[in-house]
């Protein structure tokens, strides 16, 4: 596969939400979303809060079902349309092809931090020993103290939880990486570490779509910016 292979392509993607508590009113979030991402490229979604950036990421990951258009993802030698894929196919894509770091850490309660991160690495095919080594390396680089590794992250600070979230998302070297505000609650030192980790993945050929609140982080990582406001609903309507 060429280093410049297209790994993600969105074509005329649309999303509308139904507000059941308001008489099933329809709210169009985005429409005609069209862009592509190649291997070794970081595309940053730009635009104000509410423009639909997170909704686009969630449609690529399959958390939200697109109401129109196609979301093509290259998995091995095949192109799979996430907008039309069944749940089993989406789960398989998450296991083999797409990693996603959301704004919030959601994990099974009472599971140790090291186990959470190593499980993500093992799911992608690493041996148990290699997975734990990968998890330990990431937790160390992200400044999670070793004495916390055997504790569940529920009692951690917000910044610590976000770093565990990042470690889990980066533990498996999947070819597509989706990042939703991964540095929002981090201090400058940890933001720098995260930027370096993402740059390493991009240099290794990952296709990245990211949302970054911090302008400096965005400027360091973006190979290209996609202005989501051109796909947003007409606020004057």
Q: What is the dihedral of CA 47, 83, 222, 225, to 10 degrees?
A: -40
Residue 139 located in a structural domain:
no
Residue 93 located in a structural domain:
yes
Of the candidates 157, 73, 170, 84, the residue with the CA atom closest to the CA atom of residue 121: 170
How far apart are alpha carbons 113 and 4 in whole angstroms?
A: 36
Residue 209 located in a structural domain:
yes
Here the CATH number for the domain that contains residue 221 is: 3.40.50.300
Q: How confident is the model at residue 213, as a pLDDT?
A: 87
Full domain range(s) for residue 199: 6-97+174-230
Residue 107 located in a structural domain:
no
pTM of the model: 0.90
Q: How confident is the model at residue 21, as a pLDDT?
A: 61
pLDDT along the chain (237 residues), means of 10: 80 86 75 96 93 94 94 93 96 93 77 94 89 96 95 88 91 92 89 95 96 93 94 55
Q: How confident is the model at residue 147, as a pLDDT?
A: 95
How far apart are alpha carbons 200 and 139 in whole angstroms?
A: 16
Q: How confident is the model at residue 225, as a pLDDT?
A: 96
Q: How confident is the model at residue 205, as a pLDDT?
A: 95
Q: How confident is the model at residue 232, as a pLDDT?
A: 72
Q: How confident is the model at residue 233, as a pLDDT?
A: 59
Q: How confident is the model at residue 117, as a pLDDT?
A: 95
Q: How confident is the model at residue 14, as a pLDDT?
A: 94
**Neighbour count for residue 87 (Cβ, 10 Å):** 8
Residue 112 located in a structural domain:
no
* 55 touches 29 (CB < 8 A): yes
Residue 160 located in a structural domain:
no
**Neighbour count for residue 128 (Cβ, 10 Å):** 11
- Total of domains in the chain: 1
Q: How confident is the model at residue 236, as a pLDDT?
A: 36
């Amino acid at each position: 596969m060429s280093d410049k292979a297209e790994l993600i392509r969105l074509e005329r993607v649309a999303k509308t939400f139904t507000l059941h508590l308001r008489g099933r009113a329809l709210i169009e979030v985005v429409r005609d979303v069209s862009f592509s991402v190649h291997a070794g490229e970081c595309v940053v979604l730009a635009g104000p809060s509410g423009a639909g950036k997170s909704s686009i990421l969630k449609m690529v990951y399959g958390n939200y079902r697109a109401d129109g258009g196609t979301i093509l993802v290259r998995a091995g030698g095949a192109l799979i349309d996430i907008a039309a894929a069944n749940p089993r196919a989406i789960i398989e894509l998450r296991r083999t092809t797409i990693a996603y770091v959301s704004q919030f850490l959601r994990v099974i309660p009472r599971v140790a931090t090291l186990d959470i991160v190593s499980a993500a690495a093992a799911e992608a095919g690493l041996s148990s020993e290699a997975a734990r080594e990968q998890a330990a390396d990431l937790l160390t680089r992200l400044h999670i103290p070793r004495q916390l590794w055997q504790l569940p992250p529920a009692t951690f600070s917000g910044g610590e939880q976000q770093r565990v979230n990042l470690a889990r998302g980066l533990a498996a070297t999947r070819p597509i990486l989706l990042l939703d505000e991964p540095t929002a609650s981090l201090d400058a030192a940890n933001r720098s570490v995260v930027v370096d980790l993402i740059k390493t993945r991009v240099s290794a050929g990952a296709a990245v779509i990211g949302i970054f609140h911090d302008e400096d982080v965005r400027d360091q990582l973006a190979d290209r910016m996609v202005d989501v406001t051109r796909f947003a609903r007409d606020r004057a309507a």
